Structure formats: structure tokens, C-alpha cells
Amino acid sequence: MTENPYQPSLATIEKIKVEVTGERAIKTFKLVFQDKEIQEKFNFVPGQCVMISLLGKGESMFAISSSPTEKDYLEVSVMKHGKNTSALHETEEGDTVGVRGPYGNHFDVEGWKNKNIVFIGGGIGMAPLRSVVNYTINAQKRNQYGNLDIIYGARTSNDLCFKDEFTELQKRDDVNVHLSIDVVEEGWEHFVGFVPSNLLKVKPPTKDTIAITCGPPIMIKFVIQNLLELGFKDEQIFTTLEMRMKCGVGICGRCNIGNLYVCKDGPVFSNAQLKNLEGDM
């Protein structure tokens, strides 16, 4: 029988971690394919995405937030917002979801060896970047990369995703973490202000450095503007884009920017590519 690209494989939710509570709740779902062979064959590179569905509710595209160095599972970090994400937030450990992918292009982690990497994330936009962070800090990989600077912010301290992981990272001397929140809070010891401002304060050196950013569109816009001001070249700046998607494989038509489909030609674009891309974003 011909393989059906629209049919997902079943995976079990092994673990649900609550990242953020409240109105903009975020949970990280650890997923393991029920068919061992599928799990073993599932290879991806940071930046790639998967279609996740709760059967009977619907399907949505998510960035994989775990690193491919973790071979036994994959994780997606999901903000509760619409119908599908709300349904996902109601699942329990042991429940079944459909997973298909991985889709799209990826961050060039192989090509970035020996370079410094600056991560600039906002809110749930940290999810795809976390895959690269965890890849580059992996014991076998860390010495292949230069300085790692993580600049991450959210509206409030409650909205920061992966808090426990950043607390651990802050103890390491081979990773620099620069957290921020948008408005003043009692007891907050780090930067207060928007992520692009924190970027200017941190002022990462541009030489042999790659900057990758993901967050709300308005944040990305000012982050790129500030990176250019710091002297970064378009070719050094990468972001990952979001679009409504249905098929995930460039057939259903909706995620185009110009003649490119974000699901298969993206989601990762360099600023050099974005500058030449004329389309609706």
C-alpha cells in the first residue's frame, strides 16, 4: 500500500511538565512513539516541526523543543490558545496522540561548529531555540561550539518557559543566561524591559557568531533591527517562522510567503533570505 503522508503514527504522552500556569499556560509534552521501530527511525535536526493531533479534535504544527541528542523521545512545548492546544492541555500522562513529521528545514547546527551562538527568545518562542540549546550543551557536542549566550524574556516571571532548566544553566560556566521580564516585579534580580533592549545591553560580539531568534513577530522585528545595529550581518541572523498549516508537506497551499511554503521551504530563514522575500507574513 502507498504510504499515506496525512496519517500520523500513534505516540504516548510519557510525561507532561507544566511550564507556565494561568491564562497563557504552557506545558511540555514528552512523546514516545508506540511502535518502537518508528521511534528508533525518527531522526530530526533542531528547528524541524511535527504535526500533533488529538484524535477527533484536530491537528496543529509545533516546533520540536527537545534535542535530537535525546533519542528515546521528542518533546513539544505548547501554549494553550486555540481548540487543539486547549484539548492537548487537557490530556493526561499515558494518553495517545498522533504525530507525523519531522517537517521543514532546520537550523544548520552542523555548519555552525566552532561558532558562538546567541539565542534570543521571547515567550513560547523559546521552544524551537531550546532544541538548539540542548543540542549544543550536550556533553558530546559542547566543545564543538564557542560561546553560548541565551537572551530570553517573557511578559512576567510566571510566563518564562523552562525556568528550572535556565536555573540549572545559570550554574554552568560554559553558558551565559540573560533573562528578562517586561515589567518590574518584586524580587526579580535580572533585566527588566523588552527582549530587544536586553540584547543591546548584553551586546554579544559579532565575530564568528550566529544569532537565532524566535518570539512574537514584533519582538523578532526589533531583535533583527538591534542585531544589525550591533554589527551582525544578514547572513548571521536566523529566525523560524510560523504559519497556519494543514498538510505539512507543501500541498494544501496556505502557508506560503511568496512562492515558498513555510512548512517545507522553512520554517528557518536567514535574514538575508527574508529581506529578499516578498509576501504576506
Partner 1 sequence: MESLVISKENFPELINTIIKSYRLFAPTEEKGFSGFNIIKDYLEMDLSYLNSRMPPKAILFNQTETLFLMEPGAKGSIKSKAISNEKSAIFAIRPCDAKGFRIIDPVFLGDVIDPLYKANRDNSVLIGLSCNQPDSSCFCTSFGDSPASGKYVDILFTDIEENYLVEVMTEKGKNFVNNFGRFFTPAPPKEIEAKNAKEKEAIKLIKRNLKVEGIEEKMDKMFNHPIWEEYAKKCIGCGTCTYLCPTCHCFDVVDESTLDKGARVRTWDACMFPEYTMHTSGHNPRPARMHRLRNRFYHKYSYFPKNSDVIACTGCGRCIRYCPVNIDIIELMNRVSEMEL
Interface with partner 1 by CB under 8 A: which residues?
1-8, 10, 53-60, 81-82, 85, 91-92, 95-96, 98, 217, 242-244, 246-247, 249-259, 264, 278-281
How near is the Cβ of 81 to partner 1 at its closest, in Å?
Answer: 5
How near is the Cβ of 250 to partner 1 at its closest, in Å?
Answer: 7
Residue 100 vs 178, nearer CB to partner 1 = 100
Tell how strand 256-257 and strand 260-261 pair up: antiparallel
Residue 234 is which amino acid?
A: D
How near is the Cβ of 56 to partner 1 at its closest, in Å?
Answer: 3
Secondary structure in 3-state letters for the chain: CCCCCCCCEEEEEEEEEEEECCCCCEEEEEEEECCHHHHHHCCCCCCCEEEEEECCCEEEEEEECCCCCCCCCEEEEEECCCHHHHHHHCCCCCCEEEEEEEECCCCCCCCCCCCEEEEEEEHHHHHHHHHHHHHHCCCCCHHHCCCEEEEEEECCHHHCCCHHHHHHHHCCCCCEEEEEECCCCCCCCCEECCHHHHHHHHCCCCCCEEEEEECCHHHHHHHHHHHHHCCCCHHHEEEECCCCCCCCCCCCCCCEECCEECCCCCCEEEHHHHHCCCCCC
How near is the Cβ of 213 to partner 1 at its closest, in Å?
Answer: 17
Contacts for 277 with CB less than 8 Å, ≥ 6 apart: 257, 258, 260, 269
How near is the Cβ of 248 to partner 1 at its closest, in Å?
Answer: 9
Residue 115 vs 246, nearer CB to partner 1 = 246
- The distance of Cα 239 from the centroid of its chain, to the nearest Å, equals 10
Residue 163 vs 246, nearer CB to partner 1 = 246
Beta bridge partners of 181: 154, 192
How near is the Cβ of 87 to partner 1 at its closest, in Å?
Answer: 9
Residue 200 vs 252, nearer CB to partner 1 = 252
How near is the Cβ of 162 to partner 1 at its closest, in Å?
Answer: 20
Residue 11 vs 268, nearer CB to partner 1 = 11
How near is the Cβ of 203 to partner 1 at its closest, in Å?
Answer: 30
Residue 231 vs 279, nearer CB to partner 1 = 279
Residue 7 vs 114, nearer CB to partner 1 = 7
Residue 127 vs 175, nearer CB to partner 1 = 127
